Amino acid sequence: MAARSIEPQFTDVQLDRIIEMAWEDRTPFDAIYAQFGLTEDRVKELMKREMKFSSYRLWRDRVTSCKTKHAKRRNPEISRFKCTRQRAITNNKISKR
């Protein structure tokens, strides 16, 4: 068996935020890496482990077709991690208007 590096233990709040960021179209994997130290492959592993398989497949299909999730495929004019139209996030819950 190949030795696997030890993944940091995340709190439930951190896991929720990582999953939320992974679902957001405009949040690149680089932003998840910058905040939580998880590479794209580790995010994929985490999503597969934390979600139902059918939800994971939907997410993978969405990520594969989304150009904004990969910094190298993004429009060079986009230099921010957060969409300007994204609502404020408080304690991992989207605030109501």
Burial classification of residue 43, based on how many CB atoms lie within 10 Å of its CB (0-12 exposed, 13-18 middle, 19 or more buried): buried
pLDDT in the model for residue 20: 92
Classify strands 93-94 and 89-90 as parallel, antiparallel or unpaired.
antiparallel
Rounded Cα distance, 25 and 54, in Å: 19
Per-residue pLDDT of the chain (97 residues; tens, 9 = 90+): 444 555 678 899 999 999 999 998 888 888 899 899 999 999 999 999 999 999 999 999 988 887 766 656 555 565 555 555 455 554 445 444 4
